[in-house]
Amino acid sequence: MKWPLIFLLLITDHAICKTTAKEETPVLLQELSSKYRKANLIEMAVEKVVKSDLLGKETKYLGKIHMAEGLFRWKNQMPEESLLIFDGSTIWNVQYPTAEFPGPLQVTKAKVSKKNRSQLLVGSLFGKEPLSKQIKIIKQSPLGHDTLFEAKPLAQDLSITAMTLIVDSEKKTLKTLSYLDDVGNLTTLNFSQIQFKTKKDKSLFKYSPPKDAQVTSI
> SS3 string of 151-173?
EEECCCCCCEEEEEEEEECCCCE
Highest mean pLDDT among 5-19, 86-100, 148-162: 86-100
User: Looking at the predicted structure, is the pLDDT value of residue 53 above 80?
Assistant: no
User: Looking at the predicted structure, is the pLDDT value of residue 82 above 70?
Assistant: yes
The backbone torsions φ and ψ at residue 208, rounded to the nearest 5 degrees and listed phi first, read -135, 115
Superfamily, domain 27-209: Lipoprotein localisation LolA/LolB/LppX (2.50.20.10)
Give 49's DSSP letter: E
pLDDT (mean) for 134-145:
92
User: Looking at the predicted structure, is the pLDDT value of residue 205 above 80?
Assistant: yes
| pLDDT computed for residue 61 by the predictor | 94
Spell out the domain ranges in the chain.
27-209
pLDDT interval class at 97 (50, 70, 90): confident
Give 9's DSSP letter: H
Grouping H, G, I as helix, E, B as strand and the rest as coil, residue 127 is: coil
